[in-house]
A and B are shown apart, each in its own frame.
Chain A
Amino acid sequence: MTSTQQTQRLDTVGSRPRRYSPSSDLRLALLFIVPAVVLVAILMYYPMGRAFQESLYTTPKTSWLSVDPSQVYVGLEHYTNLVNDDVFKQVLGNSLKWTVTVVLFQNLIGLAAAVLLDQKLPGRGIMRALVLLPWVLPGVVNAILWRFMYDPQLGLINSLLIGAGITADKTPWLAQPSTALWALIVAAIWKGFPFSTVMYLAALQGVDHEQLEAAHIDGANGAQRFRHITIPAISGIIRLNLLLTTIWTFNYFDLIWVTTRGGPLKSTHIFPTIIYNTGFGEFGNFGKAAAYGVIAVLVLLVFAVLYLRELRRSEVL
């Protein structure tokens, strides 16, 4: 990024930026975007539409495994049943706890690690490469690895904690409803924070160093400079990152499925695992599973709308 662009960008903060003289040829614009729009429509909106349709029907037990099941229209019955269902409330609560905590800490730690790795220290290149490894580790492998790490007797975590004198007993982290979700949150943060680190590391490269220097000379300390110069400069990336990690975290599946399948006592069930379990594990409660799916999208949409407004404000969108 050149410095002229940089200044230009900074100048436009708070006001509408100069648009790149957009061409007005509608047909040409369509030509460019049509392949993507068609693919997204067929591969994503159509299946989701079918799922919505499915959520309005129920499949009698006598045909739930046929190709053309004789479905019965039930309107919003699945939805009203869900809203009155304790399991649904638990899943919703777990999902929010899970998403908010993972996203928050993944981004905080991600940003801290990015700042740390941005310092001119020896071995910076190798450090950067190593820190990013968890993100690249295949999800199923990660899940099996963490299940084993948390094993009460054989796992590394208990032996480290007992060795360091932090705990005295072998804690069955994944076997207690009070700890299971938190234990998985830790694992998810470990796996996810490197992605945020990469994004923030990239963003930090774009912070105006002259401005930082000037503030330094004016006597601003590190924390002040970070708060008043760095954070505003990367706020667009922070918002984008929050949007992406919220969507991905909310839809996380493999870690929970492999380690606990939503147990013990549904304490780790979040939307994707309950959808999967309802749709496949119980032989075809497809309507209910679809209703869960639609509600999941609606919940996520609330988050997304908030972020999108912020993104628009910061001119990323």
Chain B
Amino acid sequence: MATMAIYRRRRRMLHHGILIALQLLLVIIVMLPFLWMFSVSIKPANEPFSIPPRLWPENPTLDNYESALYPEFGRYFLNSVIVSVLTMILSISVGLLAAYGFGRFNFPGLRALLIAIILAQMFPIATMIIPLYKIMNSLGLINTYAALVLAYLTLTLPVSIWMLRGFIRNIPPDLEEAAMVDGCTRLQAFWRLVVPLARPGIAATAVWIAVVTWQEFLFALAFTTTRDMRTISVGMSDFQGQFGIRYGELMASSVMVSVPIIVLFFFLQRYFVAGLTAGATKG
């Protein structure tokens, strides 16, 4: 018996060792490009790229960060935050209502409508951009936050509805029914019971929206004109000219652009996974 136990423990340790090694391998593959990005960002502008490349420059410096932090950068950053947050608010409020509608009611045609919304995601952006531009222009929205928020809804709203619907379907309807028996209206029940219970789902959806809007480029380019309305993903083009890229500053700004969303995600990922768990395992 004793030898059996030792054998088993050994096997488990070996097993663990392999798993840990695999995990490390995964993390290395994932992290290597990031490390390199960072290393280019701290390379002095006049230190040429070496062959073969090196993971740590000879004279690391923060100069690239200093010059990448030019005045407009702050403005781009702020614009990105504003647009992301506004998109989040609008997408989630409209999405929650629709998710409730699709999750709780059952009429012929309702499912078809939901499918139609999900499928709208297939439309290629490059095809829609000029018609959308004309809509924005006729509403007088070109070069405003509103144009970007509306355009971003095309990216976020269908998935938001889908995700939130999953969460709402997991909330037992008995609660609302009980509340309505007690004299609540449907809207009140929705607002007082469903919304609070759907909070993990709201958090998960919000994180997803933040990641998507923070990266978006084509709409941000097409629907803004002046530099003070530009978002950070477009602003990064400041480092790319007609005949070349200023790698050091570009990578420095890339690091700075990525850090906030990574930090945000780092803190919220628990909710993200928990939120998805609640909604997504349905089925």
* B258 adjacent to A314 (CB under 8 Å): no
Size bin of chain B's contact surface = 35 or more
Taking A116-B19, A131-B30 as contacts, is the C-beta distance between A47 and B261 under 8 angstroms? no
Interface-side segment among A86-94, A156-164, A177-185: A156-164
Size bin of chain A's contact surface = 35 or more
A26 to B113, CA, bound (A): 14
* A130 adjacent to B98 (CB under 8 Å): no
* B131 adjacent to A159 (CB under 8 Å): no
Taking A9-B282, A44-B128 as contacts, is the C-beta distance between A141 and B236 under 8 angstroms? yes
Taking A133-B262, A155-B53, A237-B281 as contacts, is the C-beta distance between A33 and B102 under 8 angstroms? yes
Choose among A22, A138, A247 the residue that contacts B257 (Cβ–Cβ < 8 A).
A138
Distance from A271 Cβ to chain B, minimum over Cβ atoms (Å) = 6
A261 to B200, CA, bound (A): 40
**B164-184 toward A: CB 8 Å interface, digit per residue (1/0)?**
000001101100010000000
Taking A32-B100, A33-B98, A51-B131 as contacts, is the C-beta distance between A251 and B258 under 8 angstroms? no
A24 to B104, CA, bound (A): 10
Q: Which of B239-283 contact A (CB under 8 A)?
A: 245, 247, 250-251, 254, 257-258, 261-262, 265-266, 269, 272-274, 276-278, 280-283
Give chain A's interface secondary structure class.
helix
A139 to B232, CA, bound (A): 12
**A1-24 toward B: CB 8 Å interface, digit per residue (1/0)?**
100010001000000000111111
* B173 adjacent to A20 (CB under 8 Å): yes
Interface-side segment among A75-83, A213-221, A223-231, A293-301: A293-301
* A36 adjacent to B94 (CB under 8 Å): yes
Distance from B272 Cβ to chain A, minimum over Cβ atoms (Å) = 7
A271 to B153, CA, bound (A): 22
12 A/B residue pairs, CB under 8 Å, sorted by A: A1-B278, A9-B281, A31-B101, A36-B95, A116-B26, A127-B27, A144-B254, A251-B125, A254-B217, A271-B124, A296-B127, A317-B115
